[in-house]
Amino acid sequence: MFDDIRPYYTEEIPAAMQKIADSEIIPHIVNYLMPGTDVESFRERLRKVRTTYEFQSGIISECIDIILKKTTSQFVWTGIENISEDKPYLYISNHRDIVLDAMLLQYLLIKENHRTSQITFGSNLMQHPFIVDFGKVNKMFKTERGGNRVEFYNNLTYMSKYIRHVVTENKESVWIAQRNGRTKDGLDVTDPAIIKMFWSSRRDDKIQSLAEMNITPVSVSYEWDPCDKLKTLELYHTKIDGKYNKVPGEDITSILTGIKQPKGKVNFHICKTLTENDLRKIDSLEGNYFSNIAKQIDEQINSNYAINPNNYIAHDIRSGEAKYANQYTDEQKKQFVEYMNWIDEYKDLDKNLLREIFLGIYANCIR
């Protein structure tokens, strides 16, 4: 069942690990994360992995330890008391980085002795054989992107059935972003269509349908937003040209940039699960039910979002005021302004527009 989108079963892991170990990408990973490590010994270690948990709690956790050491000054998580070790959840998160948002959640769940979740992974990313195997070993399941209106609807319905199957029958958690694609403009907003998609696989009772999914918002923030420069350029060309066409390999570039780029302080907060009682209260409100649920998720994500000095600095620079000057130092502002000098490299583009977009990525969380 769901063989076309599901992660690997345990019995499929050894063969997948053999392919991962033999990949030409492994030397690049070793040279970046573990310079000086013998590549063949690392390949042999991969070949010995027999389960997803072995892979995630061992090799992947070690790699994340290294990434955190190389690219962050602090990784803090809160709200672990809001979830139980023996209960599955549908984690719905704001989305800032293609890979790290979900992977860091798995990392903290392992550290807190909780079971990891399955992870939605766009079909547009599952192009290279290494990415496919790596993803499916890491409990990622494919979500189809694109297609005409009918295909899009059918894909969403199919994914809804799969997510419900995983949470209610397999008793396993799932991670999904609050909307299609990453937040690029700094505005974390849940798409009501995502909530409607959850409901579409069980329409007999909308409250029970969503209550049994244990919807749990997760708020993610980075001091230095992953791929901020790439996001700025994408938003710029979308505004100027009316659309943005990705070049081949761009998604892989974004993945690698997000991993390597300095991120400063990283904060995760696991918010409170939407209970049946919460959903009944929301049902009594005026307006669209799914939109009201999305607003409740937004309220939890935004109220638990860790605002950093960069956010206040960007707000004050953009507004031309010093409203939040007590939230940052002169040195922090100087560092941020110097970082913005990358915009000067794009002499053929409208620097004022680039600057406005870039500042918005950091300032828009202050509302």
| pLDDT higher than threshold 90 for residue 244 | no
Q: Are residues 154 and 286 in the same domain?
A: yes
**pLDDT tens-digit map of 302-333:** 999 999 999 999 999 999 999 999 999 999 99
Measure CA 218 to chain center: 10
Global pTM reads 0.95
**What would the mean pLDDT of 224-234 be, rounded to a whole number?**
96
Which band of pLDDT confidence, cut at 50, 70 and 90, is reported for residue 247? confident
Number of domains within the chain: 2
10 in any annotated domain: no
pLDDT tens-digit map of 102-112? 999 999 999 99
> C-alpha angle with apex 330: 328 to 331, nearest 5 degrees?
100
The answer to whether residue 267 sits within a structural domain is: yes
Q: Are residues 329 and 207 in the same domain?
A: no
Residue 120 belongs to some domain of the structure: yes
The residues pairing with 222 across neighbouring beta strands, listed in sequence order, are 266
Instruction: Give the residue numbers spanning the domain of 323.
Output: 311-363
Residue 229 covered by a domain = no
Per-residue pLDDT, 253: 87
Residue 36 resides in a domain: no
| Same domain flag for 290 and 150 | yes
Domain CATH code at residue 82: 3.40.1130.10
Note whether 332 and 354 are same-domain residues: yes
At 218 the three-state DSSP class reads strand
- Calculate mean pLDDT across residues 33-54: 96
**Res 146: pLDDT:** 74
Q: Counting runs of H as helices and runs of E as strands, what totals does the chain give?
A: 17, 7
Burial classification of residue 293, based on how many CB atoms lie within 10 Å of its CB (0-12 exposed, 13-18 middle, 19 or more buried) = buried
Same domain, 209 and 101: yes
CA dist 108 and 110 (Å) reads 5
**Are 220 and 327 found together in one domain?**
no
C-beta atoms surrounding 347 within 10 Å: 6
Mean pLDDT, the chain, whole residue set = 95
Identity of the residue numbered 247 = V
Whole-angstrom distance between the N-terminal and C-terminal Cα of the chain? Answer: 45
Confidence tier at 356 by pLDDT (50, 70, 90) = very high
- For residues 342 and 293, membership in a common domain is answered with no
> Do 339 and 253 have their domain in common?
no
- Same domain membership, residue 263 and residue 336: no
In a domain, residue 198? The reply is: yes
What is the pLDDT, as a whole number, of residue 149?
Answer: 84
Same domain (yes/no): 256, 144: yes
Strand order in the sheet with 140-143: 72-78, 264-270, 215-222, 90-93, 174-177, 118-122, 140-143
**Domain boundary at 266, 291, 306, which?**
306
- Tens of pLDDT, residue by residue over 99-139, are 999 999 999 999 999 999 999 998 878 878 999 999 999 99
**The predicted structure's pLDDT at residue 22:** 97
Interior angle at CA 64, CA 179 and CA 363, nearest 5:
45
Query: Residue 100 domain-assigned?
Result: yes
pLDDT for 137 equals: 97
Q: Is residue 33 part of a domain?
A: no
* Final residue before a domain boundary, out of 260, 282, 306: 306
Q: What are phi and psi of 221, to 5 degrees?
A: -140, 145
Clarify whether residues 197 and 346 are in a common domain: no
Residue 299 sits in the same domain as residue 318:
no
Q: What is the pLDDT of residue 208?
A: 97
- What average pLDDT does range 263-279 have in this prediction? 98
Strands 215-222 and 140-143: unpaired
pLDDT at 12: 98
- What proportion of the chain, given as a percentage, has pLDDT over 90? 88
Q: Provide the pLDDT confidence category of residue 203 given band limits of 50, 70 and 90.
A: very high
